[in-house]
């Protein structure tokens, strides 16, 4: 399988799709685990994994197959998680405005409770309390 940038394979052929799913899953789990371990060094590594994962997912076309709507939903969810991990890593690194932007993009890509909460936390750290309350209310409404 051809490598793109030495990290993830080129967009899949039908034969390579299973291997690609595994590698995307590994990258996602690595970013999440690094964030859970804590610390600035791990946050930097997680930010790198998540940013590269986002870049790759955006370039990969949505699989057609039997259920294209489900495939689109899976892709949107994966992009949302990659952006969410970037938001969390930026928060750990003290880049609060970048954390806010990534959390907002995560919520736009796939509106769910974790992205709404992360957006609210970022707004709160920036002193934008009223907006933070509104985003937290959205998190509970989802």
Determine which helix (DSSP H) or strand (DSSP E) holds 9, and give its type and residue range.
Answer: strand 8-9
Per residue in 21-71, pLDDT tens? 557 888 899 999 999 999 999 999 999 999 999 999 998 888 777 888 888
SS3 for 4?
strand
Q: At what angle do helices 68-92 and 96-109 cross, to 10 degrees?
A: 170
**Cβ–Cβ under 8 Å, residues 88 and 49:** no
Supply the pLDDT for residue 39: 96
- The contacts of residue 90 (CB under 8 Å, 6+ apart) are 43, 47, 96, 98, 99, 102
Average pLDDT, integer, range 109-122: 94
Tokens of 138: 């959205």
Q: How many CB atoms lie within 10 A of CB 20?
A: 18
For residue 4, what pLDDT band results from cuts at 50, 70 and 90?
very low
Query: What's residue 38's pLDDT?
Result: 95
**Mean per-residue pLDDT of the chain:** 86
4's tokens = 């793109």
Residue 16 pLDDT > 70: no
User: Which pLDDT score, from 0 to 100, does residue 135 have?
Assistant: 86
Lowest mean pLDDT among 29-38, 39-48, 82-91, 129-138: 129-138
> What predicted TM-score, i.e. pTM, was given to this entire model?
0.82
Do the beta carbons of residue 59 and residue 11 sit within 8 Å? Answer: yes
């Amino acid at each position: 399988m051809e490598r793109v940038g030495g990290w993830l394979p080129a967009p899949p052929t039908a034969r390579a799709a299973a291997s690609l799913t595994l590698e995307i899953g590994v990258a996602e789990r690595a970013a999440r685990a690094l964030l859970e371990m804590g610390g600035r060094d791990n946050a930097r590594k997680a930010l790198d994994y998540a940013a590269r994962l986002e870049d790759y997912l955006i370039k990969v076309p949505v699989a057609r197959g039997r259920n294209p709507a489900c495939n689109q939903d899976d892709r949107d969810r994966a992009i949302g998680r990659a952006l969410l991990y970037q938001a969390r890593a930026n928060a750990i690194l003290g880049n609060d405005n970048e954390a806010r932007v990534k959390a907002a993009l995560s919520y736009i890509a796939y509106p769910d409770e974790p992205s709404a909460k992360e957006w609210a936390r970022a707004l709160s750290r920036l002193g934008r309390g009223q907006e933070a309350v509104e985003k937290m209310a959205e998190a509970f409404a989802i």
